[in-house]
Structure 1
Amino acid sequence: MTGREGGKKKPLKQPKKDSKETDEEDAAFKQKQKEQQKALEAAKQKAAKGGPLGGGGIKKSGKK
């Protein structure tokens, strides 16, 4: 009975990729990601200082 085999099937082995081959596009992409990460960290530090956040929005009147 070949139709009822139990257990998990082993996945086929994938050939290893050569990670040393990087072209200029990959290098530029990684550099761009690093710059975005630095900008994000700077924005987080600026936001952590506190203070008013723009001051806009709906203002309520004193009347009830």
Structure 2
Amino acid sequence: MSSRQGGKAKPLKAPKRKTTELDEEDVAFKAKLKEEQAKLKELQQKAAGKGPLLGGGIKKSGKK
């Protein structure tokens, strides 16, 4: 290990990211995903104060 000089080793460089060209289909798909996420977020905010949606009803005990 005498060949290595003292001090910190240089960090490895990350490979450059390739710029991807987006087709019209890709742009439309991403826009659709954004709309769906916005709708989902809106529904979650509306349902936040109403309590649990599932798990309600009559609870049965294990005894007979």
TM-score between both structures, scaled by the size of structure 2? 0.50
